[in-house]
Amino acid sequence: MGAEHTLRGEYRKIHEHSLRDREDFWLHAAQCVDWDRSPDRAVDDSAAPIYRWFPDARLSLSRNCLDRHLEAGRGGDIALIHDSAVTGRVRRYTYAELTEEVARCAGMLAELGVGRGDRVIIYLPMIPQAPIAMLACARLGAVHSVVFGGFAAAELASRIDDATPDVVLTASGGIEPSRRVEYLPTVAEAVALARHPVREVVVQHRGGFAHDIEDVAADSAARWQDWGLLIDQAPPAGPVSVPATDPLYVLYTSGTTGRPKGVVRDQGGTAVALSWSMAAVFDIGPGQTMLTASDVGWVVGHSYIVYGPLLVGATTVLYEGKPVGTPDAGVFWRMVAEHGVSALFTAPTALRAIRKADPEAALVGEHDISSLKHLFAAGERLDPETQRWIGQALAVPVIDNWWQTETGWPIAANPVGIEALPVKEGSATVPMAGYDVVVLDPLGEELPAGQEGNIALRLPLPPGTLPTLWGDDQRYIDSYLSVFPGFYTTGDSGFLDEDGYLFVMGRTDDVINVAGHRLSTGAIEAVVAAHPAVAECAVIGLADELKGQRAGGYVVLKSGHDVDVEVLREELTSLVRRTIGPVAGFKDVAVVPALPKTRSGKILRKTMRQIADGQEHRVPSTIEDLSVLEELIPVLRRSR
Ligand code: COA
Ligand code: AMP
């Protein structure tokens, strides 16, 4: 185990058991799933370092999330509440109604030729069709890949090329507070850009958008059809039983290069791990309501808007809106009161936005939030000041939890469903079941308590985490398992204290986190470098009071290109927006005479980042020309 710590209660026993006897622990945890063939084995290590969970079991995740609750006589309970602050509408689905909708959507997909193992891309706003489509894919044993609506056509196209789907499910558009986001031109452009031919595009019609199927279908190689018409003719489809090791979904996430990584999640491990976490971490069971104010395009949405709450027969709220401005910073508290929410899960950036808009938390007092038991925050570091402020405002425990798209569920949290541990500000608390967290120095030696280093997880990872990257075992091994053999490298740095509490301090690579959205500075750099006036550039994450981080670009112009910096900034901003998407929020551009490099030509991004953040920085002895860095220091300091 990583650290010898002093916790002695129930949590400690459970965590130790999960590491000492994985088979026993997870086979026992697996009993909460309704299997078509129960597992006799938990982990299959025959292809280590790639591990598979519950290799001999079969199940339907869709049945576990839906039909099972009907069979238990709970068909009348509310499964899903769509609360759309941007349209002012609230719609509730009972488990019986949601099962019916999912069965028909699965029937529609089956009629389009989708079957077990086939990929379906879901590019939808926060409307009920998004979870319905995900559960419908699961019902057929098909593999969904949800793409966040804030990504532009090129990002969608790269995911189409990697996942090679026959079918793309989309809608007329999404509603942002300031504008309507037209999806159809983006999808049409992505389908045209992709090398892989998409056969079918199915469009959920929404009123109030400028584009319709007719505007895009004629010039597209794909067949475009109306969701509503297809659903009306679709026969309901029953749940298909699949091996537990079958893929449930692929979710693309940013790595250090421009090419996104297709994180795979399997069926059985996901069912077991999410069920375990719903009880142990989120303390939510049947009849209770969870509001996860994320987007289904992110892992938090997959796990805790859709699968987690439905697996345990709880009510989930699908929120279409923002933490502020739709209409105000009291919208979360309004929903807590209106829907009787027990667990609210959001990103620290949303809490900071609320604090900025309502510093005295006056809007909390306008609602009866007595149903709320816990507030959960993840996606980026929860700064102690925000944690304190919101804890006082709501008078409930604020639970930081640390994880990644790759792991699918919290690596570290305060296990309030088992035992509420004392909170330490700035710490995501302790490792969850099956996670053997260690802190390693650059040579792979385990560091003692209190010393910061690379946070790594001893293999095997627990169920519900990624078994591999889509179609690329070698890339999975190279990206995560090769740096420290026997360990999964998280890419985060931090330390464990003497009590075994984990403090996550930040990334060790070029991944940044802008307003809870994970982005690759490498991907932004690739776009900036494509501008005709740009000779070379470096994009680094700058500290941002509201969004945690923002991307800052330092650009060297090609000789002979004497451009207006303001014009260049606008051009680069719009280029990044069109290529990656508006969520990149790329606005900071500085033109500099040269970039600091090592003698082998590597740009000193880390040193630049440390200077910009006002941290102590170390100038590597391999620097090529110290005067370049010295000239850049005032520019970097101005970025703060
Ligand atoms: N579809 C299309 N565009 C989107 C989008 C979506 N789903 N989500 C965001 N965008 C756009 C926004 O409209 C904005 O565009 P603009 O530049 O034209 O204004 C841009 O992307 C940046 O958006 P965002 O980063 O959300 O900033 P914001 O200033 O609009 O809002 C917050 C700030 C803090 C309110 C918001 O970022 C937020 O709610 N963050 C929480 C994120 C979260 O829950 N993450 C999940 C991890 S748990
Ligand atoms: P994502 O894959 O988008 O969930 O992003 C994962 C990354 O976000 C992690 O590797 C961390 O860098 C960061 N992160 C997520 N949650 C936390 C947290 N609670 N504390 C600190 N960093 C976090």
Which structure tokens are listed for 274? Answer: 């999410």
Q: Which atom of ligand 2 is nearest to the CA of 507?
A: 12
Higher pLDDT residue, 4 or 68? 68
Given CATH 3.40.50.12780, say whether it is the number of domain 3-321+401-495. yes
Contact (CB, 8 A) for 602 and 564: no
Which structure tokens are listed for 595? Answer: 């970039």
Cα 298 to ligand 2 centre (Å)? 12
Q: Give 382-387's long-range contacts (Cβ < 8 A, gap of 24+).
A: 382/348, 382/426, 382/428, 383/348, 383/426, 384/425, 384/426, 386/348, 386/351, 386/352, 386/355, 387/425
> Using CA atoms, how far apart are residues 11 and 429, in angstroms rounded to an integer?
12
Please tell me the predicted confidence (pLDDT) of residue 560: 85
Please tell me the predicted confidence (pLDDT) of residue 177: 93
Candidate from 254, 402, 517 with most ligand 1 atoms within 8 A of CB, to mutate: 517
Identity of the amino acid at 533: A
State if residue 427 touches ligand 2 by the CB under 6 angstroms criterion: no
State if residue 400 touches ligand 2 by the CB under 6 angstroms criterion: yes
Nearest to 339 by CA among 372, 303, 361: 372
State if residue 401 touches ligand 2 by the CB under 6 angstroms criterion: yes
Candidate from 402, 423, 490 with most ligand 2 atoms within 8 A of CB, to mutate: 402
DSSP structure string for 451-488: --EEEEEESSPPTTS-S-BTT-HHHHIIIIISSSTTEE
Candidate from 256, 303, 387, 403 with most ligand 2 atoms within 8 A of CB, to mutate: 403
Determine the average pLDDT of the residues in 316-343.
98
**Residue owning the nearest CA to atom 7 of ligand 2:** 404
**Residue owning the nearest CA to atom 42 of ligand 1:** 516
- Residue 1: pLDDT above 60? no
State if residue 378 touches ligand 2 by the CB under 6 angstroms criterion: yes
Determine the average pLDDT of the residues in 43-65.
98
Q: Strands 173-176, 179-182: parallel, antiparallel or unpaired by DSSP?
A: antiparallel
- Residue 223: pLDDT above 60? yes
State if residue 510 touches ligand 2 by the CB under 6 angstroms criterion: no
Ligand 1, pocket residues at CB < 6 Å? 149-150, 174, 176, 178, 181, 294-295, 298, 300, 322-324, 347, 349-350, 353, 378-379, 515-516, 582-583, 585
Please tell me the predicted confidence (pLDDT) of residue 2: 42
Determine the average pLDDT of the residues in 153-175.
97
Mean pLDDT over the full length of the chain: 95
> Using CA atoms, how far apart are residues 41 and 417, in angstroms rounded to an integer?
26
- Residue 441: pLDDT above 70? yes
Please tell me the predicted confidence (pLDDT) of residue 216: 96
Please tell me the predicted confidence (pLDDT) of residue 5: 53
Helix axes 10-20, 22-29, angle to 10 degrees: 110
Domain coordinates in residue numbering, the chain: 3-321+401-495, 515-638
State if residue 84 touches ligand 2 by the CB under 6 angstroms criterion: no
Q: Which atom of ligand 1 is nearest to the CA of 174?
A: 1
Contact (CB, 8 A) for 201 and 191: yes
Identity of the amino acid at 428: A
Q: How confident is the model at residue 6 (pLDDT cuts 50, 70, 90)?
A: low
Please tell me the predicted confidence (pLDDT) of residue 191: 98
Write the pLDDT tens digit of every residue in 390-402: 999 999 999 999 9
Cα 61 to ligand 2 centre (Å)? 26
Considering only the top CATH level, what class is 515-638? alpha beta
